[in-house]
Amino acid sequence: MTAVNLLIKGGTIVNPKKQQHEVADILVKDGKIAEIGQNLSADGAEVYDATGLVVTPGLIDMHTHLREPGQEAKEDFHSGTQAAAAGGFTRIATMANTKPVVDNAALVRGLQKQAELTGLVKVEFIGAVSKNLEGKELAEMGDMAEAGVVGFSDDGHYVESAAFMRRALEYSSMFNKPVIDHAEEVSLTHEGHMHEGFVAYEMGVKGRPAVAEDMAVARDLLLAQMTGGHIHIAHVSSKDTVDQIRAAKAKGIKVTCEVTAQHLSFTDEYLREYNPAFKMAPPIRSEEHRQALLEGVKDGTIDAIITDHAPHAEEEKDVEFCCAPNGFSGLETSLAAVLTHTYKTGILTLDEIVNLMSVRPAEIMGVDAGVLEVGKTADITVFSTDEEWTVDRNLFYTKGKTSPFDGMTLTGKAKLTVVDGNIVMKEGVVTQ
CATH code of the domain containing 234: 3.20.20.140
Strand partners, 260: 306
Dihedral pair phi/psi, residue 230, rounded to 5°: -95, 110
β-partners of residue 122 are: 91
pLDDT exceeds cutoff 60 at 386: yes
> Buried b / exposed e across 136-150, counting CB within 10 Å, b at 16+?
eebbbbeebbebebb
* pLDDT category of residue 42 using cuts at 50, 70 and 90: confident
The answer to whether 386 is a known catalytic residue is: no
Within a domain: residue 186?
Answer: yes
pLDDT at 432: 74
Q: Is the pLDDT of residue 103 over 80?
A: yes
- 43 lies in a domain? yes
Could you read off the pLDDT of 400-417 as tens digits, one per residue?
999 999 999 999 999 999
* Residue 403 covered by a domain: no
CB 91 within 8 A of CB 63: no
- Is residue 281 located within the same domain as residue 257? yes
pLDDT at 43 (0 to 100): 87
Inside any domain, residue 45: yes
- How confident is the model over 332-377, as pLDDT tens digits? 999 999 999 999 999 999 999 999 999 999 999 999 999 999 999 9
Q: Looking at the 3D structure of the chain, how many domains does it have?
A: 2
Whole-structure pTM value:
0.97
Residue 135 DSSP label: S
Q: What is the DSSP string of 73-111?
A: TT--HHHHHHHHHHTTEEEEEE-S-SSS-S-SHHHHHHH
List Cβ neighbours of 286 (8 Å cut-off, separation of 6 or more): 195, 197, 198, 199, 267, 268
Q: Is 401 a member of any domain?
A: no
- Same-domain check for residues 45 and 102: no
Tens of pLDDT, residue by residue over 223-255, are 999 999 999 999 999 999 999 999 999 999 999
User: What's the rounded mean pLDDT across residues 323-336?
Assistant: 97
Examine the domain organization and report whether 18 and 164 are in the same domain: no
43 and 66, same domain (yes or no): no
Residue 178's pLDDT is: 98
DSSP assignment of 198-244, as one string? HHHHHHT--EE-HHHHHHHHHHHHHHHHHH---EEE-S---HHHHHH
The pLDDT, as a whole number, for residue 2 is: 54
Q: Tell me the mean pLDDT in the region 153-180.
A: 96
The model's confidence at residue 330, banded by pLDDT at 50, 70 and 90, is: very high
Amino acid (1-letter code) at residue 273:
E
Task: Provide, for the chain, the percentages of residues in helix, strand and coil under a 3-state DSSP scheme, each rounded to the nearest 5.
Answer: 35, 25, 40
At 47-73, the pLDDT tens digits run 999 999 999 999 999 999 999 999 999
Q: Which of 308, 379, 392, 420 is catalytic?
A: 308
Domain that holds residue 19: 6-54+377-386+409-430
